[in-house]
Amino acid sequence: DEVDPYQGTIVLATVKGDVHDIGKNIVGVVLGCNNFRVIDLGVMTPCEKILRTAIEKNADIIGLSGLITPSLDEMIHVAKEMERLGMSTPLLIGGATTSRTH
């Protein structure tokens, strides 16, 4: 049996409609330095690609990023798709327009 050297796997993406990725990149570096396997899907990432990658890579966490207000709607869309698919992977969201409410 091969032992996984990582603490876990996280899929990170800036959601479709947004190109801002400084915060996502910082989170990715911090997680990488803390022994997480980081799969960074970049910017303008469609929901389907995020969820497909999370399933294929057996992600422990999905992290979504976005700076502009419309990004929140796309994050909500991703969360609803996860619910529809019966996914229980924890979802981490972040960006300038997010708050505790989200």
Q: Catalytic residues, which ones? A: 18, 20, 71
Give me the residue label for tokens 């796997």: 9
Token pair for 27: 């989170």
Neighbour-count burial of 9, counting CB atoms closer than 10 A to its CB (0-12 exposed, 13-18 middle, 19+ buried): middle
Going 54 to 59 to 62 to 63, the CA torsion angle's sign is negative
